Amino acid sequence: MQKKIKQKKTYAIILIAFIIIASCTEDKSNYVGNITAATDIICVHGSLTLELTTYIKFRSGNISGPTQINERIYWKSLNENIVTVIQNPQNQFEAVVSGIASGTTEIIAETHGLHASLPITVVCERVKRLTSNIGFRLYPQWSPDGSTIAYSYDDQIYTIQANGGEEKQLTKNGGSNPQWSPDGSKIVYSNNYYIYTVSAIGGEEKQLTDTDSYNPQWLPDGSSIIYDDHYSIYIISESGGEYTYIVSGLNPHWSPDSKKIVYASIEDHQNATINTISRTGINKKILTSKYLFANYPRWSPDGQYIVFTYKDNISNDAILCLVPAEGGAVNKLITIKGKTITCPRWSPNGKFILFNTTASTSIGPIYDEIFVFSIETGSLDKITCNPGSPPMDVHNPAVEYIERNAQWAPNGNEIVFVRSRRYSGQLHPYDQQIYISQFDLY
C-alpha cells in the first residue's frame, strides 16, 4: 500500500554491545553463522536507546565448551535506509535508526573473513510525549489556534502548550471532556453530570445546567452549547439560563454553518438511524435506514458529507460510512473485522478520517489502535506503530499500551492522543499520558 502520509524524522541510537561467545578450534570452517540478540525489536518512541547483547557461535567436535574470542568484530547494515551502522569516537559500533523508516533488515558481523547476520525488525514511531507525571489524563483538545491543548487530568481540567512545558490546572472542583470555544477564550466541560464553563486561563467555574448533561459542544459561532442526556438533545446559551429541547437522540454534531445538527436516533436500544434537524428542532431529515449501533456522525468541513459508523448484524464487523448531508446512497468506506470503530474525525482539509478501533477481550474493551483513512485513495495507515497486540512497552513486555482520544490539530499536521499503560491481564491502566504524532498531510 502506498503511503499518503509523509512522516517526519525522529532518531534513536541503539548501542550494540558485543559479548562474543564461541566454541572453536583453529579451523573455523565449521562456523555456524547465526547471531542471536536479547531483543530483535527496536521500537523508537521519540528518543530511545536499547542495548543488544549479541553472540557469535562456532561449532567443533573436539572442544566441549565455549571460549571467548578476543577478535575485533566489525558491523555493517545491509539496508542503510532502515539502519546505519557507525563507529563513534569511543570506537564503539552504533546502529542509527531513522524515524522515517520501518521494516526488516540485517546487520552483518564480520571478523577475519567470517560473517553472520543479525535480523533486525525496526518499528519506528513519530511521536513526542507532552506530559510526564503519572496520572490519569483523557480527552485532549486543541485550542483553535493550535498553540495549547486542554484535557482532563485526575478529574480536573488542565492545559499544556503544544510544544511542551508545565501543566496548568484550570479547575478545582472537578472536570472532564473539555471543549474550546471558537475564539479560544473559554472551555466548556462536564462535571458530575452537569455542564460548566471556565476561562482558558482559569478562574470562576460557572455551572450552566442542573440536570443530567453530557458531551457539550460549542456552536461554530460560539453563541450556544449543545449537549445530550444520553436520550435527548438540548441547546443552552453560553452564558447559561433556560435550555431548549431539540430532539431525541445522542452524539449531536453541528453543521459548519451552525444551522443544522446531525445525530444518532436510537430506535430500539440497538438499531439507529442517522438524522439531521435544524437548530430550532424542525425540518427533521432521516438520512439512513436502521443500522446496528449506528453512531458517531460528523459533518465534513465543507458540510457536504457525514461520516458515521455501525456494526454489521451478521459478522459483527465495524463499518465506516459516508452519506451525503442532503440524503442519498450510503457509501461504505472500510470494514474493520472483529472490532468497533469509535469517534471518527475529519481532517481539516476533508481528505482524511481519523478514528479509534476497540477490541473486546475477556477483561473488557481495549482501545488498541488509531488509524487514518484516506478518502481519495482508500488507504489505511496507523499513526502509532507499536509491536504486539495489544501494543507492548518495549522496555517492559508485561506492560500494554492502550491508545485513544485522537484529535486533529487545526493545521492538520499533527494529531494529539492519549497513551495509557497497564499491566497485562489488568482491566484498568495505571498511567495515561498526552502524546502528539507529527504528520504532513498537505
The Cα–Cα gap between 43 and 15 comes to 14
pLDDT in tens, 92-145: 556 665 444 455 666 666 655 555 555 555 544 567 788 988 899 999 999 999
What are the strands, taking DSSP E only, across 126-259?
A: 127-129, 137-142, 148-153, 156-161, 168-169, 176-180, 186-191, 194-199, 206-207, 214-218, 224-228, 232-237, 243-248, 250-254
> Does residue 276 carry a pLDDT above 50?
yes
What pLDDT band is residue 46 in, cutting at 50, 70 and 90? Answer: very low
> Does residue 16 carry a pLDDT above 90?
no
Query: How long a stretch of residues is the chain?
Result: 442
User: Average pLDDT, whole number, for the chain?
Assistant: 76
Same CATH topology for 11-125 and 127-438?
A: no
What pLDDT band is residue 397 in, cutting at 50, 70 and 90? Answer: low
> Does residue 298 carry a pLDDT above 80?
yes
Nearest CA among 187, 182, 183 for reference residue 208: 187
What does the domain layout of the chain look like in residue ranges? 11-125, 127-438
Q: What is the dotted CATH code of the domain comprising 127-438?
A: 2.120.10.30
Read off φ and ψ for residue 28, nearest 5 degrees.
-95, 20
The Cα–Cα gap between 238 and 200 comes to 14
Q: Give the pLDDT of residue 3.
A: 36
Q: Give the pLDDT of residue 410.
A: 95
The Cα–Cα gap between 379 and 386 comes to 19
The Cα–Cα gap between 115 and 77 comes to 12
What pLDDT band is residue 316 in, cutting at 50, 70 and 90? Answer: confident
Query: Stretch 179-208: mean pLDDT, rounded?
Result: 96
Q: What is the dotted CATH code of the domain comprising 11-125?
A: 2.60.40.1080
C-alpha cell of residue 221: 459561532
**Among the ranges 30-44, 54-68, 89-103, which has the highest mean pLDDT value?**
89-103
pLDDT in tens, 214-229: 899 999 989 899 999 8
Number of CB atoms found within 10 A of residue 382's CB: 16
The Cα–Cα gap between 94 and 343 comes to 42
Q: Give the pLDDT of residue 109.
A: 62
Q: Which helix (H) or strand (E) holds 59?
A: none
Q: Give the pLDDT of residue 113.
A: 56
What pLDDT band is residue 28 in, cutting at 50, 70 and 90? Answer: very low
Q: Give the pLDDT of residue 391.
A: 47
Q: Give the pLDDT of residue 20.
A: 27
C-alpha cell of residue 418: 492519549
What pLDDT band is residue 203 in, cutting at 50, 70 and 90? Answer: very high
| Grid-cell match 579451523, residue found | 27
The Cα–Cα gap between 368 and 424 comes to 13
User: In the chain, pLDDT over 70 holds for what percent of residues?
Assistant: 64
> Does residue 2 carry a pLDDT above 50?
no
Is residue 223 left, alpha or beta, with left meaning phi > 0 and alpha meaning psi from -120 to 50? alpha
30 three-class SS: helix
Nearest CA among 72, 65, 42, 69 for reference residue 56: 69
Query: Stretch 181-201: mean pLDDT, rounded?
Result: 96
The Cα–Cα gap between 418 and 177 comes to 13
Q: Give the pLDDT of residue 93.
A: 59
Query: Which has the higher per-residue pLDDT, 211 or 304?
Result: 304
Query: Which has the higher per-residue pLDDT, 327 or 88?
Result: 327
How far is residue 266 from each of residues 249, 287, 295, measured CA to CA in Å? 6, 14, 9
Q: Give residue 230's Cα distance to chain centre.
A: 26
What pLDDT band is residue 39 in, cutting at 50, 70 and 90? Answer: very low
Q: Give the pLDDT of residue 270.
A: 83
Q: Give the pLDDT of residue 54.
A: 37
| 30-39, 177-186, 329-338, 352-361, range with the lowest pLDDT | 30-39
User: In the chain, pLDDT over 90 holds for what percent of residues?
Assistant: 45
Give the pairing of strands 194-199 and 206-207.
antiparallel
Q: Give the pLDDT of residue 100.
A: 43
